[in-house]
Structure formats: structure tokens, C-alpha cells
Amino acid sequence: MWRKSLCYHRRHNQETTFFGQEAVISYEYPLNERIRILLRLEDLYRKLNHFCRGDTPQDHHVALLTLFEILEVAGRADLKVDLMQELERQRQILVTFRNNPEISEEALSGALYEIEQASSSLLAMAGKIGQYLRENDWLMAIRSRAAIPGGVCEFDLPSYHYWLNRDAAARRHDLYAWIQPMIPIREGLTIVLRLLRASGHPENQLATKGTYQLTMSGRSAQMLKVRVAPAETVVPEISANKYALSIRFMRPETITRPKLVEHDVPFELTFCSL
């Protein structure tokens, strides 16, 4: 997978697909709990970044609630260890590519530096992930009340109401101070997921009358990626284990129960594995 990431991607760029340059919708399906957690955290960090950059009290309220979600998801004791072990494994693979004429030395050095920096930052994280947040009684009071519908009204938490009415720059300064110690997790998972996505080779497939089935036959993967043209107006329902893969394309109904489409659906399927 590193060779794909560090070479010039000539073969990949010239690949013929159903879609050409057309925009597509990608659906990623994790095949184990570790990747599921990383994908959830990636989504939460993106939302956190978006709402932190806003200026309204509502933006920063959502940012704080998102930080609480990150704290909950990242609370696994072994997440930091998992990330460090995977980064080290990838670093060792990279080192074997030294002096390979097919690999850009500049890109290789950059990738090694990025991994080493991320590993050092993770190693420097002391104690349980987010423990400094759990020790902040004011934040934990907000977290507790936020679990109640409408529980953070001004009469419930007047000090939080005061904070939300501070200058936007002051609120953002506080948010960044609370977020900063969690940044190494984001940097580590970003590298791991980027490598995971780059590891796969996309294949054109066709779901006959909306259904696609495949016997895994020993094929191992940690994540599946399904790409579909928006014009198809379908969403995939994916079921997979070590023995078989099943994809059913449904109509994206929002009122009635989704129904299986009755026409053939072209799509792109990628098996990703580190």
C-alpha cells in the first residue's frame, strides 16, 4: 500500500471506470471495531473543526458537544497504543523502500517524518485520553446536562449561558485549549486511514437487479469502499463477514420504507487492508 502512496500513480490514474470524471458518492464500510472507531472519530473531528471556526454561540455549543462525543468514542484505553503500533508497523515497511528507483525519495522521507512526528506526539500524551477534560467540573456539568433534552438552558447552567455570550474569539480560545491535547489522536488516525484508503484497488462491478453477492474465498479486508454515481439514486445496504459479501441497492426513501431497486446498478468496489 505504501508503494501505491509514494509512486506516481500512473496505472491508477489511467484506470477506466464506470464514472470517468463524474462525481460519485462514496460509502465506506468498516469490517472490524478498530476501523469503525477510527471512522467515527474522523467524522467527529471534521465536525469539530467546522463548528470551531464559526462565530455564533450555536456554533461553539455544537463544537463543545462534539468534543464530548470525541471524549466518549476515544475513551478506549488501547486506542493510543493501537495507533502507535500501526504507525510503527507502517514506518518499518517504509524503511524497506529506501533506494528503490520506483519510489520518490522526497515523498518517502516526508512520509517517514510525518509518521515519526505523529508517533512522538502520541507517546507524549500522558494518562487516559481526555482525562484533563474529565477533571474539569464545569465541563462535566455541561456534559451531564447536555444528555437531557433541553438541559442546557440558561436557567439550568447560568455560567454556561454567560460563556456563550462572551466574545467569539474568547470562546474559540477556550475551545482550542480544550481541543489541543486531543490533536495527536486526530493526526495518528488521519495517517492510518489515509494509508488504509490508498491500499485498495477499485474494481468495476454490476449489481444485477440491485443485488451483488461475492464469496470472500480467503480475501481479507478491514474496510470496503462502494462508489456510486448520484444519478443512480440508490443507497447501498452492506453486509459482510469473512465468508461472504452482500450488497443490496435500495431507493433512498425518506417517508416510506426503502425498497430494493429493480434495475442493474453499476458501482465501484474497493477492498482496503493495511
Query: Domain containing 57 — which CATH number?
Result: 1.10.3900.10
At which of 149, 169, 193 does a domain end? 193
Same domain, 171 and 262: no
Range of the domain at 226: 199-272
- Check pLDDT > 50 for residue 203: yes
The rounded distance, in Å, linking the Cα atoms of 1 and 97 is 12
- Which CATH number do you get for residue 220? 2.60.440.10
Question: Within this chain, do residues 100 and 169 fall inside the same structural domain, yes or no?
Answer: yes
pLDDT tens per residue across span 18-31: 555 568 899 999 99
Same domain, 184 and 221: no
- Average pLDDT for 111-119: 93
**Is pLDDT larger for residue 105 or for residue 72?**
72
pLDDT tens figures, 259-270: 899 999 999 999
Domain-located, residue 217: yes
The residue from 158, 178, 193 where one domain ends is 193
- Looking at 176, 193, 210, the residue that finishes a domain is 193
**CA-to-CA separations, 174 to 44, 64, 131, 223, in angstroms, rounded:** 19, 10, 17, 36
Instruction: Assess whether pLDDT exceeds 60 at residue 4.
Output: no
Report the domain count for the chain.
2
**Three-state SS sequence of 133-194:** HHCCHHHHHHHHHHCCCCCCCCCCCHHHHHHHCCCHHHHHHHHHHHHHHHHHHHHHHHHHHH
For helices 105-124 and 79-95, give the axis angle rounded to 10 degrees: 160
Q: Give the pLDDT confidence of 135-166 residue by residue, as tens digits.
A: 999 999 999 999 999 999 999 999 999 999 99
pLDDT for 12 equals 35
> Is 4 within a domain?
no
- The helix or strand, by DSSP H or E, that contains position 250, with its residue range, turns out to be strand 244-250
